[in-house]
Structure 1
Amino acid sequence: MGIRFLKIAVIYLFVGALLGGYMGATDNFVLAPVHAHLALLGWASLALAGLIYHLYPAAALTLLARIHFWLHNIGLPFFMLGLGLVLTGHTAAVPIVSISAGCVTIGLAAFTANVLMNVKATAGRQ
C-alpha cells in the first residue's frame, strides 16, 4: 500500500508541476489554488501517507488504508477539475467541488482513524 501511495503521489507532483509551468508561461495564475491543492493533497499528503504505510505495514493492510486510497484518488481529480471550472467562471461546477472535496475528506478521515488505531510504537521506534 505504501508503494501505491508513493507512485500516485509522484503523478500528482508531475501534474502539479506541469500546471505551474503552464501558469508561469502564460502569466495567468487563476488556477493557482488547483496547483496548490495538487501539491498538498496530491503530492505531499499522499507521499507522507505512503511513507507512514511503508513504516507501519500493519496500518497498510487495513480496510481503512484501502478506503483512504480510493476515496482520495477518486475524489481529488474531480475536485481539481471542478475547482478549475469554478475558478474560470463555471459556477455550475460548485456541486462537483463540494461532493468530490467531501470524498477526499472522508478518505482523510479514514487515514486519521487508521493512524490513530494502527500506528504503534515498536522496539527501536518510539
Structure 2
Amino acid sequence: MSARFIKISLAYLVLGASLGIYMGLSQDFTLMPVHAHILLAGWLTLAMAGVIYRLHPEAAGTRLAQAHFWLHNLGLPVFMAGLALMLSGRANLPPVIGTGAIALLVGFVCLALNLWRRI
C-alpha cells in the first residue's frame, strides 16, 4: 500500500510541475488553483500517506486505506478537470467539481479514521 501511494504521488508531482512550467512559459496563471491542488492534494498528501503507511503497516492493510486510495485518486482528477474547465471558461460544471471534491474529502476522512484507530 505504501508503495502505491508514493508511486501515484509521483504522477501528480510531474503533472503539477508540468502545469507550473506551462503557466510560467505562457504567462497565463489562470490555472494556479489547479496547479496548487494537484501538488498539495496529489503529490504532498499522497506521498505523506505513503510514508505514514510505511511507518505504520498496521494501518496500510485495511479497507479504509484501500477506500482512501481509490476515493482520492478518482475524486482528485474529476475535481481538477472540472475546476480547470471552469477557470478556463470552457464549461461551468459545479456538480462535477462538487462530486470530485466530495470523493476527495471522503477519502481524507477514511485516512483520518484509519490513522486515528491504528496509530
Normalising by structure 2, we get a TM-score of: 0.98
Q: Give the aligned partner of residue 64 of structure 1.
A: 64
Q: Give the aligned partner of residue 31 of structure 1.
A: 31
Q: Give the aligned partner of residue 44 of structure 2.
A: 44
SS at match of 1:92: coil
Q: What is the identity, as a one-letter code, of the residue corresponding to 1:54?
A: R
Q: What is the identity, as a one-letter code, of the residue corresponding to 1:96?
A: V
SS at match of 1:37: helix
**2:21 & 2:90 partners in 1: Cα distance?**
23
Q: Give the aligned partner of residue 82 of structure 2.
A: 82
After TM superposition, give the deviation of residue 88 of structure 1 in Å: 1.2
1:12 is aligned to 2:29: no
**2:88 & 2:71 partners in 1: Cα distance?**
26
Percent identity of paired positions between Structure 1 and Structure 2 = 48
How many residues are treated as equivalent by the alignment?
A: 119
After TM superposition, give the deviation of residue 90 of structure 1 in Å: 3.8
Q: What is the identity, as a one-letter code, of the residue corresponding to 2:50?
A: G
| Runs of 5+ consecutive residues of structure 2 not aligned to the other structure | none
Normalising by structure 1, we get a TM-score of: 0.92
**1:11 & 1:90 partners in 2: Cα distance?**
25
Q: RMSD over aligned Cα, in angstroms?
A: 0.8
1:22 is aligned to 2:5: no
**1:94 & 1:17 partners in 2: Cα distance?**
26
Q: What is the identity, as a one-letter code, of the residue corresponding to 2:73?
A: N
Q: What is the identity, as a one-letter code, of the residue corresponding to 1:103?
A: A
| Runs of 5+ consecutive residues of structure 1 not aligned to the other structure | 120-126
**2:95 & 2:12 partners in 1: Cα distance?**
23
Name which one, 1 or 2, has greater alpha-carbon Rg.
Answer: 1
